[in-house]
Structure 1
Amino acid sequence: MTERLVDHAHYLLDIRENNAIVVYSDQLSKQIPRSYAANAFNVFREAMHQIEMVRLIALWDQPHVDNETIPSVIEFVDDDEVIQALADAARAMYGGAPEPMDPNETAEEREITLRVLKEINAKRGEEHANSAVEGLRKAVAEARAVKSSPQLKSIRNLRNKHVAHYLTQSNAEKNGEIIAPMKVGDEKSVLEASLRIIELLYCWVNGVGISFQDSQKVDKKCAEELWTNCKFDIAGRSKPRAKMLK
C-alpha cells in the first residue's frame, strides 16, 4: 500500500508542475486575448486545477483495507506492536556478519576486531531502530494533524460539493460543521505535508529511503519544455472582423 502511495504522489506531482504554469502563472494566459478561445482556455485551466484537488484529496480518503490512502496506512501503523516490529526490522539491517577481517591478523587480533565490529553494528542497529520509531511516530502525528486541518477540510468540501458531486450541502455541513471556502494556496501546504508523510512511511515500512525532490525537478523540466514551447496566436475581439478572418 505504501508503494502505491508513492506512485499516486508521483502522478500528483506531474499534475502539480503542469499547473504551476497553466494555472498559477500567466505564461499561457497572457498570450490569449479576449476571445472565444479564452473561454476554452478558462475551462481547460479550471479542469486542470480541479483534477489536482481530486487527486490530492484522494490521498486522504477514509481508511479502508482497499483504500490506497495515507489514513489507511496510518491506521495499520499506529499500533505499538506494529511500530516495534518495524523498529526490530530496522535494527536487523545491522545484524549481519561483520566485514571480512585482515587475514594477516592473529587469532587474538581477529577476535578483538570482530568484537569491536559487532559492538559498532549493534550501536548502529539501535540508532536505526530508534530512528524508525521516531519517524513512524512523526508520520502518525503529522497525518492526524493534516486530517483535521481546516485546509484539508476546505479542499475536501470543494471536491465533494462542486467537483465529484453537485451538492447544496456536503455531509459535513449537514452535520453542522462550518467549513471555510478553499483559498488559493491551501493545497500547497497539504501537498507538502503529504509528501513528507509518504517519505517517512515508505522509509520505515518498506525499508527504502525516498525523496520526492529529484522527481519534482524532473516533472518541472518536463512541464517547462512543453509549455514554454507552446505559442498561441489568437485574434482578439477588438481586432477588425476582416483581419480576424484573414
Structure 2
Amino acid sequence: MYDTWDVNKRITEAKRLTERLVDHAHYLLDIRENNAIVVYSDQLSKQIPRSYAANAFNVFREAMHQIEMVRLCALWDQAHIDKEAIMTVVELVDDDKVIEALAENARAQYISLPEPIGGQKIDDATLELLKAVNKKRGEEHAANAVVGLRKAIADARAIKSSEGLKSIKNLRDKHVAHYLTQSNAERSGDIIAPMKVGGEKPILEGSLTIIELLYSWVNGVGISFAESRKIDKKCADELWSSCKFEIADRSKLPSKTLSLK
C-alpha cells in the first residue's frame, strides 16, 4: 500500500498516526477503568435490588461494555491511510529501509556531547572518552530500536490473527455495530468462537505494549501507560464510590402495586 512512498514520507505519517494511537489508547483506558467498576465489580450492582431500575442498569452496563469493544476493535481495523489503526502504522514501518532509518534516528540522539560546565574547556582525553561512550550508547540505542520495532510488528500481526480478537470483532459486527445474521468472517467459512467474559483484557494489554513500542521507536519518545492508568482508576473510583442508589425492592411490594407500574 505504501510501496511507492519514500522512507521520510512513511516515517512522517507513522509518527502522526502513532500520536493519534496514543490519544485513542488514553480514551480507551478511561472507559476501561470505569468498566472495571461498572461491569466487572458488584460495587454498583449490589445496591440495586429486583426492580425496574435493575433493567435500566443492565442496559447501561451492557452499553458501557460494548463501547469498550467498539473502541478496542477500532485500534485493529485493517491498514488504510484513512484509518488511525495499529496495523496502518505497522505497514508503514515494516520495511528494512524504514527500520534502518529509525535506528539511525535513535543512534543520532547520542552524537552531541554535553556542554562544558561553567564554560571550562574539555581536555582532549576526556573528549575522546565522551565520544567513545556516546558512540557505544548510540549503537546500543539503535540496536534496541530495531529489536523494539521488530517486536511491535510481530506482536501486532499475532494479535491481528488471534482467535481472541476475531471473537471480539465478531461480537462487534453482529450485535453492536451491525445487526448481521452472519459476519463477513462467518460467511467466509471461519468458525468464530463466542467471546469469553473478560476476553478483551489480553487484547487490550497487548495493544498498549505495541503502542508503547511504536511511540518509543517511531516518535523517539518513551511512554508508559501505567501512570495514566492510575489516574484513570482514581477518577473512576472517586465518581462511582460516591454514587449511592436508593431503590425500592419491587419483589417485596404487593403485586397490585407492581401492576400499576
User: Is the counterpart of residue 131 in structure 1 residue 147 in structure 2?
Assistant: no
How many Å separate the matches in 2 of 1:7 and 1:119? 38
How many Å separate the matches in 1 of 2:38 and 2:216? 33
Aligned to 1:3: 19
TM-score of the two chains, using structure 1 as the length reference? 0.94
Displacement of 1:103 in angstroms is 6.8
Sort the Cα spacing of 1:133 and 1:43 in 2 relative to 1 into closer, same or farther, 3 A: same
Q: CA RMSD in A?
A: 1.8
- CA-to-aligned-CA distance 1:128-180 (integer Å, 9 cap, x gap): 00010010001001001100110000000000111000001000100000010
Aligned to 1:59: 75
Aligned to 1:212: 225
How many Å separate the matches in 1 of 2:249 and 2:118? 80
- CA-to-aligned-CA distance 1:176-219 (integer Å, 9 cap, x gap): 00010000121000000000000000000111000000000000
Asked whether the 8 Å contact 1:94–1:121 carries over to 2, the reply is: yes
Asked whether the 8 Å contact 2:99–2:146 carries over to 1, the reply is: yes
Aligned to 2:245: 232
Sort the Cα spacing of 1:64 and 1:104 in 2 relative to 1 into closer, same or farther, 3 A: closer
Sort the Cα spacing of 1:141 and 1:104 in 2 relative to 1 into closer, same or farther, 3 A: closer
Consecutive unaligned residues of structure 1, counting only runs of 5 or more, are: none
The within-5 A match list for 1:60-209 is 60-100=76-116, 110-209=123-222
Asked whether the 8 Å contact 1:101–1:113 carries over to 2, the reply is: no
Displacement of 1:238 in angstroms is 2.1
> Identity of aligned pairs, percent?
73
SS of the residue corresponding to residue 65 of structure 1 reads: coil
How many Å separate the matches in 2 of 1:136 and 1:10? 21
Give the aligned length. 242
Displacement of 1:240 in angstroms is 3.0
Displacement of 1:236 in angstroms is 1.1
How many Å separate the matches in 2 of 1:166 and 1:112? 73
TM-score of the two chains, using structure 2 as the length reference? 0.89
SS of the residue corresponding to residue 64 of structure 2 reads: helix
Q: More displaced, 92-101 or 213-222?
A: 92-101
Sort the Cα spacing of 1:110 and 1:28 in 2 relative to 1 into closer, same or farther, 3 A: same
How many Å separate the matches in 1 of 2:33 and 2:117? 50
- CA-to-aligned-CA distance 1:103-128 (integer Å, 9 cap, x gap): 777xxx81111111111110011000
User: Is the counterpart of residue 44 in structure 1 residue 57 in structure 2?
Assistant: no
How many Å separate the matches in 2 of 1:224 and 1:120? 47
Asked whether the 8 Å contact 2:79–2:91 carries over to 1, the reply is: yes
Displacement of 1:243 in angstroms is 9.5
Asked whether the 8 Å contact 2:99–2:149 carries over to 1, the reply is: yes
How many Å separate the matches in 2 of 1:118 and 1:8? 40
User: Is the counterpart of residue 32 in structure 1 residue 31 in structure 2?
Assistant: no
Displacement of 1:102 in angstroms is 8.1
